[in-house]
Structure 1
Amino acid sequence: MQDIKNALIKKLSLILPELPVYDEAVEQGMQQPCFFVLLMEGNQARGINRRRQRFNSFDVHYFPDRDAAPREACELMAERLYAEIEYLTGSEGGYRGTGMRHEIVDGILHFFVQYNYHLFRERDPEVKMQTMTQGGGLK
C-alpha cells in the first residue's frame, strides 16, 4: 500500500511541481493550493491457493487557491486528475486506477480512485524429517 501511496504522491508532484502534496494531517502552515492524499480503505480478498487480491481506495483532496473561484478551479483539476493519475509506476510495479469519481464539498475537491493488485503469498516452510533409522533383517 505504501508503494502505491508514494507513487501517487510522486505523480501529483510531477503534474504540478509548484503545489505541495501532503500525506499526513497538517494542523498549521498548510499552503493553498495543495493536494492531500488519504488512504480511505484497504482490503484483501482470497484467491485460489496462495493468490490474494488487494484493493486500496484513495481520496485525493485538492484545496484550491483562496483567491480563485473554488468550484471552477476544482472542476478543472478534476478533469486533469482523470487523465493524469489513471496509471502509476511504483518501485514494485505499475498500477492502474479504477472506479474514479469526484465530488466537490465546501469548495474542496475530493477525487476518489482505487488501485488494485495481485499478491502471491509465500509458501509456509515445510517441516522435514530430521533422521530416520531403519531396521530389519531376514528370517
Structure 2
Amino acid sequence: MNVGAITSAVSTAVYNAFGDGYEIYTDRVTQGLHEPCFLVSCLSGTRGVDLGRRYARTAQFSVQYFPRVEGDSAEINDVLERLLEALETIEVDGRLLHGKDITGTPHDGMLTVTASYDGFVLHEEEQTEMQSVTTQTSAKE
C-alpha cells in the first residue's frame, strides 16, 4: 500500500461514480483546467511500527471538485453526496480499504472532500545465513 496506489484507487472510485464527463487530475494544473473536473491529491501520510515487520500506514486524501458554473450550490451538493459514497470503500492492490473521517466542505465556489485510509505494509527482513557450524561433544562414561 503506497501513496501512488491509493491515488490511483481514489481516482478510479471517482471515475466509477461520475464517468467520462469529468476530467480527473492527479497533478496541479496551473492553466487550462477543464470544468467540471476533480483534483485528487495526498494531503499527508504516516507510518508507524505495529508488530515486528508490520507497519501501520495512514494516508489522508483530498478530492476537490470544480463545478461547471462556479458556486452552483445544487451541483456541488449533488457531487458531495456522490463523493461521500464513492470514497467510502476503495480497492488498492486487490484489498478493500475503508475510508474514515470523510468530510466535505464547499468553499470559494468549489468543493473539497477529504478521507483517510488505513492499512498495513509488511517489510521483508534480510536474513544472514550461517556459512558452517562446528560442534564438539563428549560423553561421560
TM-score, length basis structure 1: 0.86
**Structure 1 residue ranges, 4+ long, deviating more than 4 angstroms after superposition:** 132-137
Change (3 A) 1:127 1:104: same
Partner of 2:100: 98
Q: Distance in 2 between matches of 1:69 and 1:24?
A: 23
TM-score, length basis structure 2: 0.85
Q: Distance in 2 between matches of 1:135 and 1:47?
A: 41
CA RMSD of aligned residues (A): 2.0
1:70 shift after superposition = 2.2
1:134 shift after superposition = 6.2
> Deviations along 1:29-74, whole A, 9 cap, x unmatched?
21101000010001112112222110000010000112x6523322
Change (3 A) 1:135 1:118: closer
Partner of 2:37: 34
Q: Distance in 2 between matches of 1:108 and 1:64?
A: 6
Q: Distance in 2 between matches of 1:45 and 1:117?
A: 11
Q: Distance in 1 between matches of 2:137 and 2:118?
A: 59
| Number of positions where the alignment pairs a residue of Structure 1 with one of Structure 2 | 135
Q: Distance in 2 between matches of 1:78 and 1:34?
A: 13
Q: Distance in 2 between matches of 1:119 and 1:136?
A: 44
1:131 shift after superposition = 3.0
2:38 partner amino acid: F
Partner of 1:63: 66
Any unmatched runs of 5+ in structure 1? none
Q: Any idea what SS the aligned residue of 1:80 has? A: helix
> Deviations along 1:75-95, whole A, 9 cap, x unmatched?
221111112221112334211
Q: Distance in 2 between matches of 1:115 and 1:83?
A: 14
Q: Distance in 1 between matches of 2:10 and 2:45?
A: 15
Asked if 2 retains the 8 angstrom alpha-carbon contact of 1:4 and 1:95, the reply is no
Q: Any idea what SS the aligned residue of 1:109 has? A: strand
Partner of 1:131: 132
